[in-house]
Amino acid sequence: MFRTAALLLSVLLLGCGTADWSADEPPESLAAYGLFDGDPRQQRPADGVIPYRLSTPLFSDYATKHRFIKLPEGTAASYQPEEVFDFPVGTVIAKTFSYPAADGLQDLVETRILLHGDDGWIGLPYLWNDQQTEATLDVTGGARAVTLAAAAGPLPAGHEIDYRVPNQNQCKGCHRTKDRELLPIGPRAGLLNADFAYEVGERNQLDHWREVGALADGPATSEAPRWAVWNEPQSGTLDQRSRAWLDINCAHCHNPEGPARTSGLDLRYVQTNPTHWGVDKSPVAAGRGSGDRLVDIAPGDPDGSILLYRLESLDPGEMMPELGRSMVHAESVALIREWIETMEQGPTEAAG
Amino acid sequence: MTRPSRLPSRLAAAALLSLSVGFAFALACASNAGGGGVIEVGPDAQKQALRALIEAEPGDVVEFGPGRFEFDTTLSLDVADVTIRGAGLDETIIDFSKQAAGTGGEGLMVTADGFVIEDLSVYNTRADGIKVEGTTGATFRRVFVNWEGEPRTENGAYGLYPVQVTDVLIEDSQVRGCSDAGIYVGQSSNIIVRRNKTLENVAGIEIENSTGADIYDNETWGNTGGILVFSLPELPVKAGSQARVWGNKIYDNNLPNFGLPGAIVSEIPAGSGMIVMATDQTEIYENEFKDNKSSHIAVISFTSTGREYDDPDFEPYAEGIAIFENTFEGGGDAPEGDLALAVAEMVGTPLPNVIYDGVENPDRLVDGEVPAQYRVYFDGNGTIIDADLATALSGGQPNVVTDAAAFAGSLPERPQPIIIGEEGTAATAGGAL
């Protein structure tokens, strides 16, 4: 009965030319979303699918990430100055995790889907098969032994990664608000306000979204927030770059509404109170994650700062973020180390 | 199926087998309220458990069979009114020794209301054992969280760990080996912790920044500190108050502190029976204290830790504390920690049974007196000292008081009994919420 109704609904939806999936009964195969054109290993977006990037991304074991958004035809996202844009029901956000293949294409591991259904967003992990022809839903995620066919970042070809695909509950672990609503994390003005190399050429993403009708409102791009890029020194001060990195890597939990609110540590870019983002702040429930250190950030003393300790740890009981990395991200650790090292006592300057 | 006799025998056997498997599966489903049957030890157990918890419907029981499960990832639950049940605390053991980096640190992470877990053990998690965060209704019943081997700093921080939860019931459970607190209830309200056993943790039981807690009939021994009732600054939920601690056996909590500096409990001196810090409106009565070598009971202000904090809303004083009808035996004979050592300087050893740092909230004073609801009371069962620590630490001559009569009386308004569940009994917690 329900299945018939769902089928009918999806037929109706198909008739409207929008989507052939339903959040109540998500498709088993990623192909149902119609995201890609041609060989999936090229991760080339289909018509109506917008590829995008974040100026500072979450670190995920040096995986390449291909981000896409597909809005229902004739709809647009609504601009928000600080928060994630408001996306209409029917929006699909996709993120493929891959590593460079020997032939110059990509070895696909997983594609994570965020679906905006009638009852809110849901997160779904799709795992690519060995033939790289199809990705299927597995709510339990799982482990993938990845042997790099080519170098990925500083990792050489042949390097082995114990890659972990988060399960569906773990999606919520990062994407959850206090009201247990699931939300996207990345598509915010400050992180999207950057150029993207589209097939037709380089273009600012906010401009492009407006041109294709995907973004309805908001200020001129020059007036929109533009966050410093963590690894581009000319894009902002060391403080701004570090704060941008901490936001996208940590603030999905460490915000006043997020799962790590109980710690009192708020790592959002917009937080202006240094105590709240960790300066001379005592830990609350860090347990042994404190690593023998007394405060989250000890200005001038990176090796006395719990925050750095947890970024450098690989112990599941100590490491941060808890999910999605199985190795230390040396480059961001270097950034945060330099930031804390050069931090003067009691910095009060706001990053944002 | 119309002509089974004509099927080749092997095929027929296979068909029969699949039929009976299907039948068994259907039976298992029927007895398990929509779940996927009892999860048994085996190579697929982890995936089955993950799937059962993800796909559970409200009202389901996710059931584990007996044996030792070895999982390498955190389990999590986000569906309301689900019960996780094992075959018994000694029968069903889920061992998380092999937890991999990037899979989360807890054994079980729960973000769903009306959660019940009972009759199983969680071993060797890399971080916390069972964490419940931001919900209403969490029941832990006959659960054992254990880190095997000697207590080590590398062990997980908390065993049973509800945080920002309303209606917490922890009963008949055990925790051993936590590098922080065995039973740790943080930033929560309406709490019952009863008939549990905590052994060889840094802190046996810790109630922190929580309101309304009945902590009774527990046995806590061999920890660094037995029972802590704390309020800490710089937390979203600030004040802790309204705890009633009675009928507990608190003894031999003399384990050297193996917590890491940085964690507040790492400052707990070995030999601490019970510490009330910065928490208000708390009664401690009819407990048995024995052989806690530093102090059986300490009542202190957060300022006595010497820790700095930046939180204008935090009120660091322990106010409205009543201690009566407890028994004390031995203890106070080998004190550790600044406070106990300072007291030893004043009055020698063994120390008085109750040590009060004497730090009062200056904002409370009315005509130089602390109003009745905010005083520290003691009934003279045992010995007490008001060490006037603030004066002592500032180099002045402390006004030390050891006469129990100075603390006579009781709280005009006593903390209220905790009631969980709509029928007014704690036994309905979780199920009926």
Interface test with A, best of B54, B124, B228 (most A CBs within 10 A): B54
Mean pLDDT of B66-77: 95
* Cα(B214)–Cα(B414) distance, integer angstroms: 13
pLDDT tens for each residue of A256-269: 888 888 888 999 99
| DSSP track, B16-72 | HHHHHHHHHHHHHHHTTTTS---B-SSTTHHHHHHHHHHH--TT-EEEB-SEEEE-S
Looking at the complex, report in whole angstroms how far the Cα of residue B290 sits from the nearest Cα belonging to chain A. 28
Per-residue model confidence as pLDDT tens digits over B299-311: 999 999 888 888 8
Q: Tell me: cis bond preceding B350? Omega within 30 of 0 counts.
A: yes
Q: Rounded to a whole number, what is the distance in Å from the CA of B220 to chain A's nearest CA?
A: 20
Mean pLDDT, chain A, integer: 89
Q: How high is the pLDDT of residue B179? A: 93
pLDDT of residue B394: 84
- Does B158 or B431 have the greater pLDDT score? B158
C-beta of residue B402 within 8 angstroms of C-beta of residue B347: yes
Q: Does A107 touch chain B (CB under 8 A)?
A: no
Longest dimension (CA), chain B: 103
Give the integer Cα–Cα distance in Å for B93 and A4: 43
Tell me the angle at which helices A238-250 and A330-341 cross, rounded to the nearest 10 degrees: 130
d(C-alpha A116, C-alpha A93), whole Å? 8
CA–CA distance, B51 with A123 (Å, rounded to integer): 15
DSSP state of B127: S
Instruction: Give the span between the Cα atoms of A228 and A333, in whole angstroms.
Output: 17
| pLDDT reading at A245 higher than 80 | yes
What is the interface pTM, i.e. ipTM, of the complex?
0.77
pLDDT tens-place string over residues B87-124: 999 999 999 999 887 777 899 999 999 999 999 999 99
Query: What confidence tens digit (pLDDT) does each residue in A286-314 have?
Result: 766 788 888 999 999 999 999 999 999 99
Q: With 50 as the cut, is the pLDDT of residue A18 above it?
A: no
pLDDT at A23: 78
Q: Which residues of B touch A293 (CB under 8 A)?
A: 261-262
CB-CB contact of B171 with B145 (8 Å): no
| Average pLDDT of the residues in A13-23 | 53
% chain A with pLDDT above 70: 91
Which of chain A's residues have a Cβ under 8 Å away from the Cβ of B80?
none
Instruction: Supply the DSSP symbol for A182.
Output: B
B125 contacts on A by Cβ (under 8 Å): 317
* pTM: predicted TM-score of the whole model, two decimal places: 0.83
* Euclidean distance between CA atoms A34 and A20, whole angstroms: 9
Q: Contacts of residue A285 in chain B, CB cutoff 8 Å?
A: 157-158, 163, 180, 184, 186
Neighbours of A119 (CB within 10 A): 10
- Name the A residues in 262-321 with CB < 8 Å from any B CB: 262, 264, 275, 280-295, 306, 314-319
Average pLDDT score over chain B: 88
Higher-pLDDT residue of A65, B12: A65
> What is the sign of the dihedral through the CA atoms of B409, B415, B416 and B420?
negative
Any idea which of A181-185, B138-142, B353-357 has the lowest mean pLDDT? A181-185
